[in-house]
Amino acid sequence: MNDDTPLPLTPSIPVNTPTDSGGESGTGNGKKIALGCSLGCLVSLVICVVVGYFVVTGIKNKVVDAAAAYTSEAPVEIVEPTTPQEEVTDAITRFDAFSAAMSAGETPETLVLSESDINALIFNHPMFKPAAGKGIVTIQDNKLTSTISLDLDEINIPVPFIADAVKGRYFNGVATLSVAMAAGRPALYIEELRFNGAPLPREIMEGFRTQNFLEDFQNDPSMKAFFDRIEDIKIEYDKLNVIPKSAGATAGSVPQ
């Protein structure tokens, strides 16, 4: 890439959806919900967009300075909340039952997850192992906020000069997220984001607020089939609600 060629606002980042290895999955259906492994993909995309902004604004030669401003030399400790074991077990059981019923083409009860339930899954469910210790969620006033600390050397960043600029550094960020339905499928949007305590430029945030970060998962047949079975997803009374369609409302079951 020469200095006159800007990166697009939303560069194409390959999304690696989970695979069913037959190993550490509580239900064998982990690939149906990609929340765990999508963490690194999301951060990779965010990093490329941020650095792309600086390329567009003509300071590609100062990428190292940008990396220093928006990343850190050390991680932020993410501490697992103290949750009674029976509540952890209950969250895992309800999550697995919902996933299994959806995969079987059945209509489970609405999956309702509190802040505590989500964090219990992140730290204790095998499917969320990639995110354990790297992120924690809070829900307040029906807003979902995620605090994240990631070793950038562990993330596949497909643009070499960006990967070099953040080598040995950490992404410590706080994101305010919104979930909704878009074109009949679940959508995830970033409403507010801070890197290393610094807010992103307004131009970048305007793009993020309209970018559905679950869109690329539609390219995976299993994920598309799963999303097609969701009637609604929303945060209500400070709880995440995933509402399935009735079994007769879709053409078939989620592929195994």
Domain extents in the chain: 30-249
The 10s digit of each residue's pLDDT in 21-45 is 334 433 334 343 444 444 445 555 5
Task: Tell me the C-alpha distance between 162 and 67, whole Å.
Answer: 8
Task: Identify the pLDDT of residue 11.
Answer: 36
Q: Token digits for 31? A: 């690939």
Predicted confidence (pLDDT) per residue in 59-115, tens digit? 455 566 777 778 889 999 999 999 999 999 999 999 999 989 988 889 999 999 999
Give me the numbers of helices (H) and strands (E) for the chain, helices first please.
Answer: 7, 8
Average pLDDT, the chain: 75
H/E stretch holding 146? strand 143-151
3-state secondary structure of 168: coil
Three-state DSSP class for 186?
strand
- Nearest 5 degrees, angle CA 200-CA 173-CA 138? 115
Q: pTM score, two decimals?
A: 0.75
Q: Given pLDDT bands bounded at 50, 70 and 90, which one contains residue 19?
A: very low
